[in-house]
């Protein structure tokens, strides 16, 4: 095999992360998985139940998505990870042939606090579906994701609320590290990658200590969890920036569950590579569109006769085909097409944003690009 062929083979081996360009702390990279490579910085549309609400896999591909995020906890309840395994795995089940990352259920420890009990052994949930008792250990969570056949497995972690005391945040971080060790020792499928998750609440010294311990486990990638869970936005920014410096430069860095466009720009400038958030689709279903000139609430009466597209600078199917007046009508009448078209537009906007940032990093002009983009995002849609 020639040297060039060897390099090509190595670049597509699952877990290979290449930093193709850098501009300050920001990186333009590519991560190889068992179902192909994806470019970073990357935004992952959220397909909690094995579907991005209102969009088909073909539409996701058309708007530029390369990787999606599903939720192992929810899929383990319905339809069940073993059923999905028996039907050929999650990729085949949902008709998506690209990379899939699954959240482990750690966020549900936070969001379903009234329905769970935590111990060092794991988490006991009372199912929000039928009330059945469910116990998940770190090993169970890995095995569920192995059954699903996904490309990136997330460890089980404890996400402490934003208002947690230092002692509470420290206990959660220590338990998360112990769970990460157990997850790391659990067998995965061929080509499956496992990411560790940094915890520590809003306390920078806890974050630094937890990150340094986690790095000793040599994960293929690292996530920062437990931010944007009730703390002040300025604290989110400060903790995110302080934590990313502790993560290896040769591994992908994933900031979990954050997603305002202006924040993504700032986080990419800090050196983060991967993001996910429900905002594009959730806001879309409620008539809120993200545009190159800020947010557009299409339900407002001022748009009842507006023949312009949601964003004149956008090339998505919705903007090529429909007016603000029509989108307002769909939203006002709760037609399914309204939420679908708004979600499609929002995700197209996010994928375009990531492409533009990748290009700006390659051109070594991210700072200048970011300054202009941040001003435009705050101009106001009718400016």
Q: Which of 152, 276, 158 is nearest to 220 (CA)?
A: 152
- Which pLDDT belongs to residue 34? 98
Largest CA distance in the chain: 65
Region of poorest pLDDT, from 162-166, 271-275, 285-289, 325-329: 162-166
Region of poorest pLDDT, from 146-155, 157-166, 237-246, 358-367: 157-166
- Which pLDDT belongs to residue 108? 80
| Cα gap 175→159, rounded to integer Å | 10
Element (DSSP H or E) covering residue 19: strand 17-23
Question: Dihedrals φ, ψ of 268, to 5°?
Answer: -60, -40
- Which pLDDT belongs to residue 3? 58
Burial (0-12, 13-18, 19+ Cβ within 10 Å), 7: exposed
27 contacts 273 by C-beta, under 8 angstroms: yes
- Which pLDDT belongs to residue 127? 84
- Which pLDDT belongs to residue 1? 59
Please say if the pLDDT value at position 83 is more than 60.
Answer: yes
- Which pLDDT belongs to residue 383? 46
Q: What percent of the chain has pLDDT over 90?
A: 88
Q: What mean pLDDT value characterizes the chain?
A: 95
Q: Domains in the chain, start-ordered, CATH in brackets? A: 9-276 (3.20.20.105), 284-377 (no CATH)
By annotation, the residues acting in catalysis are 103, 276
- Which pLDDT belongs to residue 255? 98
Please say if the pLDDT value at position 2 is more than 80.
Answer: no
214 contacts 177 by C-beta, under 8 angstroms: yes
Please say if the pLDDT value at position 131 is more than 90.
Answer: no
| Cα gap 137→235, rounded to integer Å | 31
Question: Dihedrals φ, ψ of 243, to 5°?
Answer: -80, -40
Please say if the pLDDT value at position 105 is more than 90.
Answer: no
- Which pLDDT belongs to residue 5? 55
47, two tokens: 């397909």
Mean pLDDT of 107-125: 84
Please say if the pLDDT value at position 381 is more than 90.
Answer: no
| pLDDT tens track for 256-283 | 999 899 999 999 999 999 999 999 999 9
Mean pLDDT of 134-149: 96
Mean pLDDT of 284-305: 97
Element (DSSP H or E) covering residue 145: helix 138-148
Residues across the chain? 383
DSSP 79-125: T-HHHHHHTT-HHHHHT--S-EEEE-SHHHHHHTGGGEEEETTEEEE
Confidence class for position 49, pLDDT limits 50, 70, 90? very high
Question: Dihedrals φ, ψ of 151, to 5°?
Answer: -85, -35
- Which pLDDT belongs to residue 309? 98
Please say if the pLDDT value at position 91 is more than 50.
Answer: yes
């Amino acid at each position: 095999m020639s040297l060039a062929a060897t390099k090509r083979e190595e670049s597509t081996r699952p877990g290979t992360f290449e930093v193709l360009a850098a501009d300050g702390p920001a990186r333009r990279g590519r991560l190889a998985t068992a179902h192909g490579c994806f470019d970073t910085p990357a935004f992952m549309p959220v397909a909690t139940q094995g579907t991005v609400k209102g969009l088909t896999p073909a539409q996701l591909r058309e708007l530029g998505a390369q990787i999606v995020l599903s939720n192992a906890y929810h899929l383990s309840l319905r339809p069940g990870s073993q059923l999905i395994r028996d039907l050929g795995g999650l990729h085949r089940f949902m008709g998506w042939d690209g990379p899939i990352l699954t959240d482990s259920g750690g966020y549900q420890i936070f969001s379903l606090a009234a329905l769970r009990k935590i111990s060092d052994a794991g988490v006991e949930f009372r199912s929000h579906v039928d009330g059945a008792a469910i116990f998940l250990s770190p090993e169970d969570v890995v095995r569920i994701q192995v059954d699903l056949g996904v490309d990136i497995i997330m460890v089980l972690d404890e996400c402490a609320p934003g208002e947690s005391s230092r002692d509470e945040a420290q206990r959660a971080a220590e338990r998360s590290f112990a769970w990460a060790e157990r997850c790391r020792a659990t067998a995965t499928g061929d080509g499956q990658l496992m990411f560790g998750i940094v915890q520590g609440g809003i306390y920078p010294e806890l974050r630094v200590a937890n990150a340094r311990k986690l790095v000793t486990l040599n994960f293929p990638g690292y996530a920062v969890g437990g931010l944007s869970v009730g703390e002040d936005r300025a604290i989110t920014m400060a903790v995110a920036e302080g934590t990313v410096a502790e993560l290896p430069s040769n591994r992908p860095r994933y900031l979990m569950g954050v997603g305002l466009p202006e924040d993504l720009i700032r986080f990419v400038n800090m050196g983060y590579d991967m993001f996910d958030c429900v905002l594009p689709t959730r806001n879309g279903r409620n008539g809120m569109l993200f545009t190159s000139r800020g947010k557009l609430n299409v339900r407002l009466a001022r748009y009842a006769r507006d023949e312009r597209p949601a964003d004149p600078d956008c090339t998505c199917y919705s903007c090529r085909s429909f007016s603000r007046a029509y989108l307002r009508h769909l939203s006002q009448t709760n037609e399914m097409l309204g939420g679908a078209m708004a979600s499609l537009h929002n995700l197209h906007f996010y994928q375009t944003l990531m492409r533009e940032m990748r290009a700006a990093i390659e051109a070594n002009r991210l700072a200048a690009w970011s300054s202009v983009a941040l001003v435009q995002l705050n101009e106001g849609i009718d400016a």
